[in-house]
């Protein structure tokens, strides 16, 4: 299997490589943000994260949404790695309450998405970059925003409007699909219908429960 334009089903080894690198990058990124902020002479400020039961509930929610997002791709390995990839940027829940970070939740940051795409694209090719981006978008679409997406260059936080959340979720579904299937596969009626149904289901979930749950949980 090479890095050709025709994607292949995900192997266990590639899935582990991609999700492992994703977790490492998410783990290391807060330190990188701290360093950049230090270099730019930003005033020190400690963000944080929660490590309690609501975070576990939130992780379950992200994993369940991730499973829904990979259903149309019908790749057995993605049933495992999809939920992992859509949950991993919350890895700071494991240490965020203990280690100071320059801003809260740095992996929910567009620069992290950029780093992830470059890193996974270099190591695991186009499909790797697509899976990483799908995981990030699939996660953030559910979180509803409220994060400093341009940290540490800007500290402002943005909330995502529902149509934008749905658009990001739909993009995640398509990226998961195209990462393991040739684009011509989407033309089949079965795949078009499945992708459409999943996007509608995501829109309903986001409208009905997603933002409410995130607000309650506050993560």
Closest to Zn ion by CB, 59 vs 195, is 59
Q: Which two tokens stand for residue 46?
A: 């400690």
Distance in angstroms (rounded) separating the CA atoms of residues 206 and 165: 8
Q: Report in angstroms the alpha-carbon separations of 167 from 23, 138, 163, 171, 206.
A: 25, 10, 6, 6, 11
Closest to Zn ion by CB, 101 vs 194, is 101
- Select the span of 33-41, 70-78, 109-117, 139-147 touching Zn ion (CB under 5 A): 139-147
Distance in angstroms (rounded) separating the CA atoms of residues 186 and 168: 18
- Select the span of 9-17, 40-48, 84-92, 164-172 touching Zn ion (CB under 5 A): 84-92
Distance in angstroms (rounded) separating the CA atoms of residues 154 and 111: 12
Q: Is 102 in the site for Zn ion (CB under 5 A)?
A: no
CA 171 to chain centre: 11
Q: Report in angstroms the alpha-carbon separations of 122 from 10, 40, 178, 217.
A: 17, 28, 18, 36
- Select the span of 25-33, 87-95, 180-188, 208-216 touching Zn ion (CB under 5 A): 87-95
Q: Is 88 in the site for Zn ion (CB under 5 A)?
A: no
Closest to Zn ion by CB, 143 vs 165, is 143
CB of 172 to Zn ion, least distance (A): 14
- Select the span of 32-40, 70-78, 90-98, 118-126 touching Zn ion (CB under 5 A): 90-98
Q: What is the dihedral of CA 115, 218, 95, 102, to 10 degrees?
A: 60
Q: Is 143 in the site for Zn ion (CB under 5 A)?
A: yes
Q: Is 90 in the site for Zn ion (CB under 5 A)?
A: yes
Helix 110-143 to helix 210-217 angle (10° resolution) is 110
Q: Is 165 in the site for Zn ion (CB under 5 A)?
A: no
Closest to Zn ion by CB, 90 vs 165, is 90
Strands (E), 87-187: 145-147, 158-159
Closest to Zn ion by CB, 89 vs 195, is 89
Closest to Zn ion by CB, 149 vs 178, is 149
Binding site for Zn ion (CB under 5 A): 90, 143
């Amino acid at each position: 299997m090479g890095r050709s334009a025709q994607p292949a089903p995900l192997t266990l080894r590639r899935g582990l490589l991609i999700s492992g690198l994703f977790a490492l990058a998410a783990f290391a990124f807060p330190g990188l943000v701290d360093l950049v902020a230090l270099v730019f002479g930003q005033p020190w400020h400690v963000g944080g994260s929660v490590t309690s039961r609501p975070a576990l509930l939130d992780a379950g929610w992200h994993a369940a949404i991730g499973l829904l997002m990979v259903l149309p791709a019908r790749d057995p390995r993605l049933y495992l790695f999809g939920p992992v990839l859509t949950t991993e940027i919350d890895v700071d829940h494991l240490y965020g309450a203990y280690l100071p970070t320059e801003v809260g939740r740095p992996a929910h940051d567009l620069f992290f998405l950029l780093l992830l795409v470059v890193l996974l694209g270099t190591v695991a090719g186009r499909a790797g970059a697509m899976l990483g981006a799908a995981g990030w978008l699939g996660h953030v679409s559910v979180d509803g925003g409220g994060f400093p997406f341009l940290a540490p260059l800007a500290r402002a936080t943005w909330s995502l409007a529902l149509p934008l959340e749905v658009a990001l979720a739909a993009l995640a579904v398509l990226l998961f699909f195209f990462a393991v299937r040739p684009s011509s596969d989407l033309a089949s009626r079965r795949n078009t219908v499945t992708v459409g149904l999943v996007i509608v289901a995501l829109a309903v979930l986001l409208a009905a429960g997603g933002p409410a749950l995130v607000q309650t949980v506050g993560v």
